[in-house]
Amino acid sequence: MSQHRTKTNGSYADETKIMGQGVRRLGYGILYTVLGIIAVLQLYPLLWLFFFSLKDNSEIFSMSPFALPTNPKWENYLNVWSQGNISLYFFNSVWITVVAVVITVLSASMVTFAITRMKWKLSKPVLGLFMIGLMIPVHSTLIPLFNFFLKLNLIDHPLAVILTYIAFNLPLTIMILLGFYYALPREVEEAAIIDGCSVHRIFFQITLPMTTPVISTTVIINMIYNWNEFIFINTFISSDQYKTLTVGIQNFIGQYATDWGAIGATLMISILPILIAFLFLSNRIVEGIAAGSVKG
């Protein structure tokens, strides 16, 4: 009798286990289906923009917006690159973005290191001062900054844009770094101090390499902001020599005619670097966000 009960209990346990596995598989199937639909919805605008960039004005206005190009105009990319000054604007976007990102991330790392690892009386007021920068609206600073750079003869100079990017990105970058720095173990740094390591060596050779995941997160965030920024470039830069892609696209908008295919090609060119950077840094970004969200 007891053996029969044991077998019955065992069969119930097996059936329950099988049912649990079936429910789990069904749940995963629904989850992956929903995520797949979301992925398609996210990728569709990029695919639509790509097909849009391969059309001319006649196809764009005579055909359905969702129609594929009948005769792909690959020359749109060649024309905007060679004749529309896009190569110069692209180069300006790259070097201005890189310089601003490097200085911002390095400066924010130094500030965060000083606030979290060094003992000094004004550490909290300084942190509060940086956090106040998060509450300042960008548009409210246009006129004061323009007057300031005008007095310094920096209007129509890339330094005005770079300094502005650094100033506005520092608070957010410091805020992201803080959580990660608080979670870093102090034992490694204490051991380095015992061995006679200076503060500068501790920061550059120990702490900074340990913060690579969160640095990748801040790099991509700063890169997206600087690359897509329009207001400051349009306000401070007037000559084609220093214009970036976001402003240079206006060259294809005329008073009586607009080359929409060229605009689509320019937008695709401007999106590619961000996509490539995100693909290479995506794992690091997730690691940085996960590590920085827990204070150890």
Per-residue pLDDT tens over the stretch 28-41? 888 889 988 998 88
More reliable by pLDDT, 158 or 15: 158
Instruction: Check residue 295 and give its pLDDT.
Output: 46
Give the confidence band of 296 by pLDDT, cuts at 50, 70, 90.
very low
pLDDT at 76 over 80: yes
Give the confidence band of 213 by pLDDT, cuts at 50, 70, 90.
confident
* DSSP output for the chain: -HHHHHHHHHHHHHHHHHHHHHHHHHHHHHHHHHHHHHHHHHHHHHHHHHHHHT--HHHHHHS-TTSPPSS--THHHHHHHHTSSHHHHHHHHHHHHHHHHHHHHHHHHHHHHHHHHS--TTHHHHHHHHHHGGGS-SGGGHHHHHHHHHHTT-TTSHHHHHHHHHHHHHHHHHHHHHHHHHHS-SHHHHHHHHTT--HHHIIIIIIHHHTHHHHHHHHHHHHHHHHH--HHHHHH--STTS--HHHHGGGGB-SS-B-HHHHHHHHHHHHHHHHHHHHHHHHHHHHHHHHHT---
pLDDT at 289 over 70: no
Instruction: Check residue 2 and give its pLDDT.
Output: 47
pTM: 0.79
pLDDT at 9 over 60: no
Give the confidence band of 291 by pLDDT, cuts at 50, 70, 90.
low
More reliable by pLDDT, 292 or 191: 191
Instruction: Check residue 72 and give its pLDDT.
Output: 86
Mean of the per-residue pLDDT values for the chain?
83
Domain 82-292 has CATH 3.40.50.10800: no
Q: Which of 41-50, 119-128, 149-158, 213-222 has the highest mean pLDDT?
A: 149-158
